[in-house]
Amino acid sequence: MMLRYLGSTKNLAGCVGGLVGLGLYLTGVVGSIWPVVVIALYAVGALLAPPEKVRLLPDTSGELRASLQTLVSSVSSQASRMPASTVDTVRRIAEVLHDLLAQPARLSADPDLQHSVVRLVRTDLPLSVETFLNLPWWFASRRAGASEELVAQLGLLEAETHRIAERFYSADVDRQADHTRYLRDRDA
């Protein structure tokens, strides 16, 4: 707790205030009451500094990976009720999302990207599959529109997953391209 405070914004702002008080003493602005001035300016700096950022949501990437694995297992166990190739599509989507969730620090560095991944794992993918599987099997098998809707939804979700992955790995791709240019220029 004490070490955390030493590196906090409040302590740093207080130290700046204290240094200003010390500077006032060294320039002769304040006399023998300089310790009181230093303490007062430290307190003012510490009180006026913004508080540390609060993180209300803990790292949930492990929880999300477990949810994703449960979803894939559930879909696999219901494969006979699912339209052809949709089980594989769910697996492909889950594989990409699992790779993204394996790097929680990097994912949390981009809140928009993190929100997109969480929305896919917690809402979009389960809702598509659950809605289809909650239809009576005889109804879903007789009505072609239900199967087509699921295939279309999973296609859209797979495309979105790949767009998210491209954003996530864009810096790596740029770094690799830069290294290729460097190697080509070095040989020239």
Residue 52: φ, ψ to 5°: -65, 155
Examine the domain organization and report whether 34 and 107 are in the same domain: no
* Torsion sign across C-alpha atoms 73, 78, 79, 84: negative
Least confident of 78-92, 129-143, 145-159, 162-176: 129-143
For residues 134-163, average pLDDT: 88
pLDDT per residue over 71-91, tens digit each?
999 999 988 888 888 999 999
Q: Are 134 and 102 in contact (CB under 8 A)?
A: no
Examine the domain organization and report whether 27 and 101 are in the same domain: no
Whether the pLDDT of residue 9 is over 60: the answer is: yes
Q: What is the DSSP letter of 81?
A: G
Examine the domain organization and report whether 144 and 119 are in the same domain: yes
C-alpha to C-alpha distance for 112 and 101, rounded to whole angstroms:
14
Q: What pLDDT is stored for residue 6 in this prediction?
A: 81
> What's the token pair of residue 31?
């006399």
54 vs 150, more confident: 150
Examine the domain organization and report whether 73 and 159 are in the same domain: yes
148 vs 1, more confident: 148
Q: What pLDDT is stored for residue 59 in this prediction?
A: 55
Q: Are 14 and 49 in contact (CB under 8 A)?
A: yes
C-alpha to C-alpha distance for 149 and 155, rounded to whole angstroms:
10
Q: How far apart are the first and last CA of the chain?
A: 56
Examine the domain organization and report whether 83 and 162 are in the same domain: yes
Average pLDDT, the chain: 88
Q: How many domains does the chain have?
A: 2
Does 54 fall in a domain? no
Q: What pLDDT band is residue 166 in, cutting at 50, 70 and 90?
A: very high
C-alpha to C-alpha distance for 176 and 53, rounded to whole angstroms:
34
> What's the token pair of residue 114?
């993190």
For residues 172-186, average pLDDT: 88
Q: Are 30 and 21 in contact (CB under 8 A)?
A: yes
Domain residue limits at 41: 2-48
C-alpha to C-alpha distance for 49 and 3, rounded to whole angstroms:
18
Examine the domain organization and report whether 104 and 132 are in the same domain: yes
Examine the domain organization and report whether 40 and 68 are in the same domain: no
Whether the pLDDT of residue 144 is over 80: the answer is: no
10 by Cβ neighbours in 10 Å (0-12 / 13-18 / 19+) ranks as middle
pLDDT per residue over 25-69, tens digit each?
999 999 899 999 999 999 999 999 888 766 544 557 888 999 999
For residues 97-117, average pLDDT: 90
